[in-house]
Structure 1
């Protein structure tokens, strides 16, 4: 196999391409989760995740959305290898070659002479155990490799550190922006992001200027990806359903404005729990419960009616004393799961306070009609 030679500070290393299903046969794979000298322990869950991606059964944005586009399964980055045996690389007429084993006997002999310095999860996913199960083993697939020869232990450690510690990942909020620009996101994700962006950009929004939309730094701010996730996971988006984007925008603006009026100087205050991401999470997980209260009691979703409901919450369920330092209950806001559980508990308590009607009523359509 011909090699492309690279030289840096007297050290020569090489580039070549080959089938990863053949390369992984040359590696002595240690047990998963086992500590290695110059590698992190590999995780079987991560290997299976990559194998699923390679098979084309994974969403392009790695979400679980049914609407998302499926990935093709391409790995454009190169694993880094080291071959211990000097005789495996030969030099003839100004060209370098690596001798790759072909027969089962040659592969068995060479096993252990090859090491993965970086990219073990990617390569292990091509092992028969995972590739066949994922269903991509019959596809033509080659990858590029960076190949070192007979590195010292110190050099191996440096390569691993440079390949892993010194490489800065793209910040998730910036990545979300790029996914949106490239058309990778589902229609629901695009609409949710648009609503979050509108909450940030509109001057009359209670959250104006507090949301980082494209990765910009906002002191004490929220990230678009955080808020979008909360809107979706809290069933806020499914509660608003197929209503127009304008109705959804108005519903969210009105709902948050009611919070700012009932919990004055607390909501949207970065120094208070209700002004932090945990507070916003609590507020939005309450949204479906309050929407049901509006519907069952045939109340239009305006600030007046919402404020009345929130006033009951403030008086009987979430008073300002709830956040006092001597009240341990406020510590429930410190973890995502306990915040969600608290919001659902309070939402049910709030629902139990109101008389329920069996007749259907849409508070948001009524609100839109009244505004027109």
Structure 2
């Protein structure tokens, strides 16, 4: 049976060119980049080359890139690292209700340490406004974190406007760009962001590697204590092979960014057109205008999300209920709950399709038809069960 992977927002397959780029650092240039001998210098050369390439890709400086283990560590280093290092300046922080758990749980921890957090509510499209940020700002606000693009519904936030607003305030601005990187145009200078988190495994790079852009002149308290790697900001021997892989993944994804956007818009249309042709009742979750093209979140009233995921997997179609961090336990999405607080079924019947490398239009069409068949069957079963219960009650 052919299996179709439509869960690229959770993780993506590593590109063959990325694997090839990594291999020399496992075989020949395997030295510790802190060592001064030949093997160490070769590893250091690879590390510096990657830092230069990645910093250039986002219009940052060489020394503004901190290599981490991925998005969660980058988020934690930004949020907790900055707040704890600058608590004497103020203890008020701002974020949104629909951030990734790598952000939300970091803020929740800071609340136990005496910080006050304002969680901005979103509208039904999953978006906040610049005005909301403006209204929430106080003299003691030191940090604002708003994700670039949401990992569950794909909605893009007004990052440029927020960045421009905060140029007149002392608060620093962080954005989690894990899902947006490679999809949206990102220039940290034009966006006026002070920090930005990125993870390689969302863009066909290896797992366990990412980076935090940290604007020159800003400081954070380190989360790890040990050596002086990453300019004393992140202790531990650098994962040079993974860094090299991330460098290649960044190059590949940015080279094909426009092409990918166009392709994924076609995939989205194929799925939605199929649902309409099959006369399904469904609701698209997220903004129709301000969105990333590779994420499509749809609710099917009357169909249970866990049953849909199981049946689609049996049919060879891999999708998800939203955040990969709740995999294994299908719980209501905090994102959809924030968007539709008075409509719990919107979350209980929602699945996420996310596109990436290796898919074809035929794959997507097959997956759409299998989804339509599954939803029809489950909704009919639910109706029959409901009718049976109603007859018994009478």
**TM tier, smaller:** under 0.3
Structure possessing the higher relative contact order (Cα contacts under 8 Å, 6 or more residues apart): 2
TM-score by length of 1: 0.25
TM-score by length of 2: 0.24
Please say which structure displays the higher CA radius of gyration.
1
